[in-house]
């Protein structure tokens, strides 16, 4: 299933789609929160560079994932990034920080907010230990699907931003950015 959605994502993205997603995120979220935990895009993921720049320009705290010893932490972004064992850019080190909003990647998201990730469970474990966090997926519209298989440990998203707009899956998501 992951291979199928990865292949599909390659055909969904475009520079225009990335720009539209960034514009929507910055318009809807930048004034409603101060601390953002955002993935640094790689491969065919929706590009987050404009979002990171836009949030930084608005003096928001921008944190990114740091994966080490089988655990993902939220740390402030630094200018110097290194590639982790998955080939994803991350800071070399950093102090764990609490954020208000998490902007996360996915291979697919279903109509109830469950996401298909890469299989490591990093985000689900992080979400389970940070229940206050508003969980937002950043995906292309073509990555939305009717229903995904799920496990007991999966934590649904509160909403997703796509190039075609916003979908809310929880009242918390509706209250915070819709």
Report the CATH number that the domain containing residue 69 is assigned in CATH.
Answer: 3.40.50.10420
Looking at residue 9, what is its pLDDT?
A: 93
Q: How far apart are CA 26 and CA 29, in angstroms?
A: 6
Burial of 18 (0-12, 13-18, 19+ CB in 10 A): buried
Which residue range is the domain that position 160 belongs to? 2-177
Considering only CA atoms, which of 1, 2, 3, 11 is closest in space to residue 141?
A: 11
Q: How far apart are CA 162 and CA 168, in angstroms?
A: 11
Angle made by CA atoms 113, 147, 114, in degrees to the nearest 5: 25
Angle made by CA atoms 177, 102, 80, in degrees to the nearest 5: 130
Low-confidence ranges of the chain (pLDDT < 70): none
Q: How far apart are CA 119 and CA 117, in angstroms?
A: 6
Which sign, positive or negative, has the C-alpha torsion 103, 120, 67, 73?
Answer: positive
Looking at residue 174, what is its pLDDT?
A: 83
Asked whether the beta carbons of 147 and 169 are under 8 A apart, the reply is no
3-state SS, one letter per residue, for 31-47: CCCCEEEECCCCCCCCC
Looking at residue 177, what is its pLDDT?
A: 74
How far, CA to CA in Å, does 93 sit from each of 11, 63, 71, 127?
Answer: 34, 12, 13, 21
Task: Give per-residue pLDDT as tens, 73-92.
Answer: 999 999 999 999 889 999 99
Q: How many domains does the chain have?
A: 1
Looking at residue 175, what is its pLDDT?
A: 83
């Amino acid at each position: 299933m992951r291979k199928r959605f990865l292949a599909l994502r390659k055909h969904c993205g475009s520079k225009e789609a990335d720009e539209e997603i960034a514009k929507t995120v910055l318009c809807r979220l930048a004034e409603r929160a101060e601390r953002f935990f955002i993935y640094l895009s790689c491969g065919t993921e929706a590009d987050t560079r404009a979002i990171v720049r836009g949030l930084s320009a608005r003096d928001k705290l921008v944190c990114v994932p740091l994966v080490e010893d089988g655990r993902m932490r939220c740390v402030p972004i630094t200018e110097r990034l290194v590639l982790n064992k998955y080939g994803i850019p991350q800071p070399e080190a950093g102090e764990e920080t609490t954020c208000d909003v998490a902007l996360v990647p996915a291979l697919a998201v279903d109509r109830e907010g469950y996401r298909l990730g890469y299989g490591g469970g990093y985000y689900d474990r992080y979400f389970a230990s940070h229940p206050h966090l508003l969980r937002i997926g950043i995906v292309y519209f073509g990555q939305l699907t009717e229903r995904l298989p799920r496990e007991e440990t999966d934590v649904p998203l509160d909403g997703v931003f796509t190039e075609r707009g916003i979908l809310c899956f929880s009242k918390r998501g509706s209250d915070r950015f819709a």
